[in-house]
Amino acid sequence: MITRSNALLQRPDPETKPLPVQARWQTQLARAIRDPRELCRRLGLDEAFWPGAERGHALFEVRVPETYLSRIRPGDPSDPLLRQVLPLGEEAVSTAGYVADPLAEAEHAPAPGLIHKYAGRVLLIASPACAVNCRYCFRRHFPYAENAPSRAQWDESLEHVRRDATLHEAILSGGDPLAASDRQLAWLVERLEAIPHLKRLRIHTRLPVVIPERIDEALLGWLTATRLQKVVVLHINHAHEIDAAVIAACRKLSAAGVTLLNQSVLLRGVNDSVTALAALSERLFEAGILPYYLHVLDPVAGAAHFDVADAEARELVAGLREVLPGFLIPRLVREIPGEGSKTPL
C-alpha cells in the first residue's frame, strides 16, 4: 500500500521507466537480483563460479536485493553474507538424512497456511515470498503455492484460532510475513485482535534486515494500532548484516512498543566461531535486539555443506559464556518433528 505523501516523495528516475505506484520497499523487492550470473558479476566473482551458481539456482532460485548486496565485500567468495545467498554446486549433492521437509510440517496443517504444533501458539503463513532466498532455508522445498491462502481460506484458519481458547499467541510466518502488503496485514491483524483469547502477535521476519525501508509509516500504522502485545523475531546470522539503516529500522520498531528478539542459524563458513557469534550478540544489542535462539541446521536437502556438528555447537556456546553476559547468550536448539517445543542441545 502507498500513501499519497509517499507517492509524492518518489522522484522519477530518468534512467528507467516510470515507477509503478508501490512503496519503496516493494520497488527494492521487485528489483532484487534473480540471476546467478549477475550476482557473481556484481560481486566480482569470476566465471568459475557460474556453473555451480546456475546448478544451485535451478534447485532454489537466487534472490538478493541491492540493500543486502551492498553489505557484501566484493571479490571475496568467503564473505559471510555472500555464503548465505550464493548458490553452489554442492546443493545438488544428496546427503543421507537430508530431506525435502525435515520438520514434517505438512503433517501439522489443520487449515491451509496454518501450523499448530506447540501449545498456546499457532503459526500462520502470511506470505509465501521472501525478500532474500537463503541457501540453508528449511523451507526451500516447501509447497508454497498450496500454502498461500485466499481470503476464504483465511476465514478457515481464523476459525481454527477462534475455536481454540488455549491459543494466546498468533505467530505470523512465511516465507516472510512482511512480504505481504500492509493492506493485507492490517486486514489480518484486525481479525486476530478481535479474538478475545489472543494476547500476543509475534512476527518472524528477515525483511527489516534485508530491506530496512520495510519499516515504513504504513507498517507502523497498523502495528501501533493493535491492542495485542507485539514481538518481532528477526533472523540475523552475522554482525555485518546490521548496518546503520537496520539499526534505524529497529529503533522505530522499539519506539512502537515492539519487543525485539533474534534467531540465528549456526552455519559453517558464516558464523561458526566464538568471535563471529560474540560480535553478532554485541551488534544485536546495539540495535536493541536480544538473542533468542541459535538453531542448529535443519537437515534440508541441498544444505549439508552448512552443517556444524552438535559437539562443536555446544563448545561454541560454552565459549560465548566466557566472553558475554548471560542475556547475550542465545539458546542453542534443534527442532525435532513431533516434539512439543524446540529441543535444547
Ligand X SMILES: *Cc1c(COP(=O)(O)O)cnc(C)c1O
Q: Does 206 bind ligand SF4 (CB under 6 A)?
A: yes
- Tell whether the torsion through CA atoms of 26, 28, 31 and 35 is positive or negative: negative
Partner residues linked to 259 by β-bridges: 231
What is each CA distance from 233 to 126, 219, 258, 325, 330, in whole angstroms? 15, 16, 10, 21, 13
Task: For ligand SF4, give the closer residue by CB, 235 or 283.
Answer: 235
Give the residue with the Cβ less far from ligand X, 70 or 341.
341
- Quick one: which segment of 2-10, 128-136, 159-167, 337-345 binds ligand SF4 (CB under 6 A)? 128-136
- Cell 500504522, located at residue: 221
Stretch that binds ligand X, among 47-55, 80-88, 115-123, 310-318 (CB under 6 A): 115-123
Q: How many CB atoms lie within 10 A of CB 137?
A: 21
Residue 341 sits in the site that holds ligand X (CB under 6 A): yes
Q: Which does 139 bind (CB under 5 to 8 A by kind): ligand X, ligand SF4, none?
A: ligand SF4
Q: What is the smallest separation between the CB atom of 164 and ligand SF4, expressed in angstroms? A: 25
3-class secondary structure, 245: helix
| β-pair partners for 265 | 295
Strand order across the 169-174 sheet: 114-115, 121-127, 169-174, 200-205, 229-235, 258-265, 290-295, 331-334, 343-344
Task: Tell me which of 176, 241, 298, 307 binds ligand SF4, using CB under 6 A.
Answer: 176
Q: Does 268 bind ligand X (CB under 6 A)?
A: no
Q: Within the chain, how many helices (H) and strands (E) appear?
A: 13, 9
The residue from 37, 73, 251, 342 that contacts ligand X (CB under 6 A) is 342
Stretch that binds ligand SF4, among 41-49, 91-99, 125-133, 320-328 (CB under 6 A): 125-133
Q: Output the smallest distance, CB 119 to ligand X, in A.
A: 9
DSSP summary character for residue 338: T
Q: Of these, 63, 117, 283, 305, which contacts ligand X (CB under 6 A)?
A: 117
The C-alpha cell at 256 is 512502537
84-94 b/e (C-beta count within 10 Å ≥ 16 → b) = bbbbbebbeee
137 marked among binding-site residues: yes
| Residue 133 binding target from ligand SF4, ligand X, none, CB below 5 to 8 Å by type | ligand SF4
Q: Which does 241 bind (CB under 5 to 8 A by kind): ligand X, ligand SF4, none?
A: none
The C-alpha cell 548486496 sits at: 69
Binding mask 170-189 for ligand X (x = CB under 6 A): -x------------------
| Beta partners for residue 295, in sequence order | 265, 333
**Pick from 23, 39, 111, 115: which binds ligand X (CB under 6 A)?**
115
123's contact among ligand SF4, ligand X, none, with CB below 5 to 8 A by partner kind, is ligand X
The only residue of 24, 121, 240, 252 in contact with ligand X, by rule CB under 6 A: 121
E strands, the chain, in order: 114-115, 121-127, 169-174, 200-205, 229-235, 258-265, 290-295, 331-334, 343-344
Residue 168 makes contact with ligand X by CB under 6 A: no
Using CB under 6 A, list all residues that contact ligand SF4.
130, 132-134, 137, 139, 174-176, 206, 235
